[in-house]
Amino acid sequence: MASNGKYGSHPYAPSAPSLPESYGQQHTQYPHGYGRPQQQHNSSSSSPQYSHGYGQPQHQPYGSSFSSSSSSSYGQSGFPAGTDPAVIRSFEMVDRDRSGYIDEHELQQALSSGYQRFSLRTIRLLIFLFKSPTDSLRVGPKEFAALWICLGQWRSIFERYDKDRSGKIDSMELRDALYGLGLAMPPSVLQLLISKYDDGSGRRVELNFDSFVECGMIVRGLTDRFKEKDRRHAGSATFGYDEFMSMVIPFLVSYN
Amino acid sequence: MASNGKYGSHPYAPSAPSLPESYGQQHTQYPHGYGRPQQQHNSSSSSPQYSHGYGQPQHQPYGSSFSSSSSSSYGQSGFPAGTDPAVIRSFEMVDRDRSGYIDEHELQQALSSGYQRFSLRTIRLLIFLFKSPTDSLRVGPKEFAALWICLGQWRSIFERYDKDRSGKIDSMELRDALYGLGLAMPPSVLQLLISKYDDGSGRRVELNFDSFVECGMIVRGLTDRFKEKDRRHAGSATFGYDEFMSMVIPFLVSYN
């Protein structure tokens, strides 16, 4: 997906990796992305323009780990050729029954070795977005490798915008980080988003990496779904009632 | 709202109360409801028809507690005339600073006296749906009274469909309970909804009253929002990207 420049880079941040091919059963290829930061002619500009401008798509080399995954060669392990052995070890360590698939608790444990212990809520969202459409709530080697690389790139973007190195980002840093992911959110939407993480203590809302991934994946997932319906790239889409409910519900609350 | 028959009754279950006037800033009056069970000519039928049929609206007396709330007389307490003193006591007990408003933690405590301790997730959803549009995340006497009555009616519907009196309802009982609330969900949407409450243990998914309220309020809220956009009552609605994101995000996960 990234190879079509869907989340092409912009002046001061690299584009985010796209979700894997497996995401979005009726996925439509788009030359441009929604909510994508407008290409800025002044490359030194540091003030994101929160419009839905369209920039020239650019090929993203690292995107190929997703976009060409279907044509990658696989070892006996089922991992794409060239997968970091540490990633394969993390997967095999938790896939005790050697089924070739890991469930939510196993994924939570596997990611802990490379990143951190994500909440089950975030884990479930990641599985929903990365699993094969035809699969149940589990991921195989190919999806796990794609997820691992994606999280690495999101981690680097999180760290770039966590300017004070607090391990948390505030609303302005979130705005910039989402922008870094190629998602330009209007202030009103950003405000709604950040308010979901307000613990009611009156303290300034800050997101750790777990919440940032959850938050960013929700925005990315909903944006991709919307795009699939906006076939004319008009910035608006029409949904039937059942279609609307079926599209939104997977992103809603889940048991935890 | 209920006075326009928006959630009129159907053969074997009473209609649910509508959300209060305060809900939905651009609320449009509709003679019929979305996802509303089709009126059945055979009143002895016990098999819901999961279409989006339209029935004749019927006036719901108890709905008047919402629909006429704006014209109700209020005592010094700010509660609608005739409000159960127990409801007023529950509110005043937690409104320690006598501000006339209660926040999420105070609402959680106030509802505990009449119902149960709801999760903060459900409490926040209830505040979002019942608060005055111009208000922050708090409710006053009028909204609290409306919420109390609504929960009472949802409780009776929950108990009606909790046939085995387990205090929990399974997916089939949820289907019937939502139908009892005037919300006919297609099986695919129901399946998605119930899967959000799967704890991954492999056990059959069951919802307690807290989860039922959360689940039902999400469906009701999203359905109402969709209706507001479907001005031609065509069963489909068109959204701009920002509008779509702003509409969906409030229903997404929140800190807990």
Phi then psi for residue B23, to 5 deg, are -80, 130
- Residue B90 inside a domain? The answer is yes
Q: What digits encode the pLDDT tens for the residues A27-66?
A: 333 333 455 554 444 434 343 333 332 222 232 322 223 3
Mean pLDDT, residues B5-29 taken together: 37
∠ CA B171-B174-B175, rounded to 5° = 90
Q: Whole-number mean pLDDT of chain A? A: 75
- Residue B5 inside a domain? The answer is no
Whether residue B244 and residue A222 make contact (CB cut-off 8 A), yes or no, is yes
Give B145-182 as a DSSP string.
HHHHHHHHHHHHHHHHH-TT-SS-B-HHHHHHHHHHTT
- Residue A36 inside a domain? The answer is no
Query: Which positions ≥6 away from B20 have C-beta within 8 Å?
Result: B1, B66, B69, B130, B143, B146, B147, B150
Q: Which domain holds residue B235?
A: 83-253
Indicate whether this complex's ipTM tops 0.90: no
The per-residue pLDDT for A153 is: 93
Best residue in A241, A243, A246, A254 to probe B by mutation, most B CBs within 10 Å?
A241
Q: How many Å apart are CA B240 and CA B27, to the nearest integer?
A: 18
Mean pLDDT, residues A143-156 taken together: 95
Q: What digits encode the pLDDT tens for the residues B142-187?
A: 999 999 999 999 999 999 999 888 999 999 999 999 998 888 888 9
Residue from the list A196, A241, A246 with its beta carbon closest to the beta carbon of B35: A241
- Residue A140 inside a domain? The answer is yes
> What domain count does chain B have?
1
- Residue B66 inside a domain? The answer is no
Kindly list the residues from chain A whose CB atom is less than 8 angstroms away from the CB atom of residue B35.
241, 245
B218 vs A: CB within 8 A: yes
- Residue B215 inside a domain? The answer is yes
pTM beyond 0.80, yes or no: no
Q: Whole-number mean pLDDT of chain B? A: 75
The per-residue pLDDT for B58 is: 30
Band of residue A254 on the pLDDT scale cut at 50, 70, 90: low
- Residue A154 inside a domain? The answer is yes
Kindly list the residues from chain A whose CB atom is less than 8 angstroms away from the CB atom of residue B244.
222, 226, 237
Q: How far is B72 from chain A (nearest CA, A)?
A: 32
- Residue B192 inside a domain? The answer is yes
The per-residue pLDDT for B28 is: 34
Kindly list the residues from chain A whose CB atom is less than 8 angstroms away from the CB atom of residue B105.
200
Domain CATH number, residue B220: 1.10.238.10
Query: Which positions ≥6 away from B125 have C-beta within 8 Å?
Result: B214, B217, B218, B221, B251, B254
Q: What digits encode the pLDDT tens for the residues A67-79?
A: 334 434 555 578 9
Q: How many Å apart are CA B241 and CA B113, to the nearest integer?
A: 42
Band of residue A159 on the pLDDT scale cut at 50, 70, 90: very high
Q: How many Å apart are CA B162 and CA A164, to the nearest integer?
A: 52
Contact A88, A77 (CB under 8 A): yes
The per-residue pLDDT for A34 is: 56
